[in-house]
Structure 1
Amino acid sequence: MTSIETGSAEINDVDPAIREFHRIMNSDYARNSVGFDGGAVARRHIAEQVRAPWRAGGPAMAGVEETKTPSGVGLRIYTPHNVKPGKILLYMHGGGWVMFSLDTHDRLMREYAHRSGVVVVGVDYALSPEEIYPRALDDICSAYEWIAGGGLGASVEAPSIILGGDSAGANLAIATAMRLRDEGRRTPDGLLLNYGAFDTQERPSHMHYDGDNYMLTRAEMAAFWRDYLGGESPEGCVYARPLRLDGAGLPPTFMCIAECDILRDENCEMAALLRKAGVDVEEHVYAGATHSFLEAVSISSIAEKAFDDAAAWLKKTM
């Protein structure tokens, strides 16, 4: 199923609320970047400061706790008041494999938990450039298998698990599912993919939506890929570019696609690839939306709708 959600009078324009989100973001980045040394640690610190106001507010949880898997991967567990035991969304934050954290994506995970009633578990996977491919993927596979084996306790023994994420997190979610499938291990019960990075090759949308007005630039994306792959050839990093792989045998998939995003075309291609392989795909292209627009949920009706659409899909899929 494909739908195009109307967000502005001009289909190629950015929605006014999301434009305001960008304006504030750009202003805060400029203010916090004075004296910036250019390193990954400083970039992360600035990103945490800039995004702090956008994770504030939103739904309260019945409980939020942190734990680690036996292999040392950090997890944050969000339990909503309307919890449906045994149903888990394992979520990977975005940030180009380099930035962001469970804190920057705290509100996103609370929104999913509250609207769907599922337990949301955020994965604190290793970041690049300190750790390159496939370390993050290893962390997520380890966390998934521990949870699938009842690692979170008797109340979620043999749980139903959906893998989800945004941007680089969406890449990691589907790459994990493909790796598990190829290795003959238990695959997830669904995939929730928000404006994912699925290939190193540029497409027309990269040129059309490049620039600060559209949140993510071509130069930023190229730098993220370099940091993630660590100088290795993309051809040798099998699961780094899931758009180059077979979609057969993957579970039902929800795809949230931002119309005004350099990654739009590869997301539409991923939906087509999965559908051709026989996967049940629910695809929404949100007009007027840009990369990272879900973070603007406090002011954006388009982000609100995208969360509601995903929550409805989670309820019927789990």
Structure 2
Amino acid sequence: MADGKDIDLDIQQWQNIMQETYTSLSPFDSTSIDDLRRVTALVRAPWTEGGPVMQRIEEKHVGTYSTRIRLYYPNHDQACPTLIYIHGGGYIIFSLDTHDRLMREYASRANVVVIGVDYSLSPEVKYPRAIYEIVSVIQWLREQNATDLSIDVNRMAIGGDSAGANLSVATNLRLRALNEPVLVAQLLNYGVYDRVRPTSDSYVRYNDPKYRLNAEEMQFYFNNYIQNEADYDDPYVCPLHADLHGLPPSFLTITECDVLFDENRSMAEALRKANVNVEEHIYHGTTHSFLEAVRIATISNKALDDACQWLIKQFY
């Protein structure tokens, strides 16, 4: 197991500040979903402050499931490219609010409309409900032709972090299965692509609280998300083992100090083997969720710039 000295100094500062907030909010029951949602939202709140100012932000309820979406418009009213963003949180926590700063950063840096999807969390609903909701939002956008929303439905990408990256890939797989067009690109930040593999090198090396995410947490998330063990065989749950042919160009933001490191490298290779155009970046010294440290971390800013430069190339 690593000793924690390999963590970037800015990222370590970010982790230390968050840990102080967690400590100030103790005691709380880490096995209670309600407590987890309340506390993690409070811990994340300061990190959503500041950042780019949008021309306007709108919310709507759309699609078969009346799913709430939030639209971020950086500076224009004409039809323009769009990034549909799926927040992480192990399928059970976080929200549009915890990822508000991150979505504004993407909108501003890539000059695109960002649409955050407020999919239903587990365990109130189980797999595959979240995927169906996201697909329904995309279908609604396409059916409306989204002209009144000032977006170009022929230039829509999807992206997300952690569980949100998983749901992004699963959404494209679902669209392909329905014989509907996949989105033009997928932006995948430190995603979950396989079941917990506690003997893999990265799980062994980084399975410690100092690196933020550990095997016990991951298993807890999966236990609340899936309906039964058989779901692990479903490619929508573990897309690392899916047929990935026909998926769009993919950008993978990979955290070095993360139990998910190995499966992210494996996912990049699996996509390449499926003839998908892949760009992957490993950010050394970073831990899970490091993009949320954009307010203070140079490496988080670099990662966002790298992704947005790539995204712009996919649209133009």
Pairwise TM-score range, normalised by the shorter structure: over 0.9
* Between 28-37 and 90-99, the greater mean CA deviation after superposition: 28-37
Q: Does 1:53 align with 2:46?
A: yes
Q: Quick check: 1:288 aligned with 2:288?
A: no
Match in the other structure for 1:199: 194
1:77 aligns with 2:74: no
| Alpha-carbon distance in structure 2 between the residues aligned to 1:266 and 1:76 | 30
- From 88, 112, 116, give the equivalent of 1:118: 112
Residues 1:33 and 2:29 aligned together = no
Decide which of 99, 105, 109 is 2:99's aligned counterpart.
105
Is structure 2 residue 190 aligned with structure 1 residue 187? Answer: no
Q: 1:159, 1:210 → 2: CA distance?
A: 41
264-273 or 155-164, which deviates more? 155-164
Local SS of the residue matching 1:257? strand
Secondary structure of 2:122's partner? Answer: coil
Q: In structure 2, which of residues 9, 18, 21 is the aligned counterpart of residue 16 of structure 1?
A: 9
- Give the distance between the partners of 1:12 and 1:248, measured in 2 at CA: 39
Q: Which runs of 5+ in 1 are unaligned?
A: 1-9
For 2:275, the aligned partner's letter is G
In the other structure, the counterpart of 1:313 is 310
Specify the code of the residue in structure 2 equivalent to 1:197. Answer: V
Q: Secondary structure at the match of 1:233?
A: helix
Q: CA 1:83–1:265 in structure 2 vs 1: closer, same or farther (change >3 Å)?
A: farther
* C-alpha separation in 1, matches of 2:78 and 2:151: 10
When residues 207 and 152 of structure 1 are mapped into structure 2, their CA distance, relative to the original with a 3 A threshold, is same
What pairs with 1:252-263 in structure 2 (closer than 5 Å)? 252-263=249-260
SS in 2 for 1:14: coil
Structure 1 CA distance, aligned partners of 2:311 and 2:195? 29
The separation in 2 between residues aligned to 1:31 and 1:59, in whole angstroms, is 29
Q: For residue 215 of structure 2, what is the aligned residue in structure 1?
A: 218
Q: Secondary structure at the match of 2:123?
A: coil
Normalised by the size of structure 1, how large is the TM-score? Answer: 0.93
Q: How far 1:206 moved relative to its partner? A: 1.0
Task: Name whichever of 147-156 and 264-273 sits farther off.
Answer: 147-156
Q: Following the alignment from structure 1 to structure 2, what is the Cα–Cα distance between the partners of residues 300 and 95?
A: 21
Instruction: Give 1:220-259 correspondences, 5 Å limit.
Output: 220-235=217-232, 237-259=234-256
Aligned amino acid, residue 296 of structure 2: I
Shift in CA distance, 84/285, structure 1 to aligned 2, threshold 3 Å: farther
Alignment of 1:268-287 (within 5 A): 268-287=265-284
Bigger drift between 96-105 and 69-78 goes to: 69-78
Deviates more, 1:37-46 or 1:49-58: 37-46
Task: Work out which of the residue numbers 132, 155, 176 in structure 1 matches 2:171.
Answer: 176
Aligned residue identity for 1:300? A
Indicate conservation of the 8 Å contact 1:83/1:117, yes or no: no
Work out the CA distance in 2 between the residues paired with 1:29 and 1:11. Answer: 19
Which one has more relative contact order, counting CA pairs under 8 Å at least 6 apart?
1
In the other structure, the counterpart of 2:142 is 148
Distance 1:301 1:83 in 2: 32
- Amino acid of the residue matched to residue 301 of structure 2? E
Contact 2:211-2:258 within 8 A present in 1 as well: yes
Q: What is the aligned counterpart of 1:132 among 126, 133, 139?
A: 126
In 2 relative to 1, CA 204–213 (structure 1 residues): closer, same or farther, beyond 3 Å?
A: same
Per the TM alignment, residue 81 of structure 1 is displaced from its structure 2 partner at its CA by 1.7
Distance 1:247-1:238 versus aligned 2 partners, 3 A rule: closer
Report the RMSD for the aligned CA atoms in angstroms.
1.8
> Aligned partners of 2:77, 2:203: CA distance in 1, in Å?
40
Task: State the alpha-carbon separation in 2 of the partners of residues 270 and 174 from structure 1.
Answer: 11
Query: Is the alpha carbon distance of 1:186 and 1:12 closer, same or farther for their aligned partners in structure 2, counting shifts above 3 Å?
Result: farther
1:128-163 deviation digits (Å, cap 9, x = unpaired): 111110011111110111112335434325341101
CA distance in 2, matches of 1:282, 1:122: 23
Which secondary structure does the structure 2 equivalent of 1:158 belong to?
strand
- Give 5+ residue unaligned stretches, structure 2: none
Write the distance in 1 (CA, Å) between the matches of 2:238 and 2:78.
Answer: 34
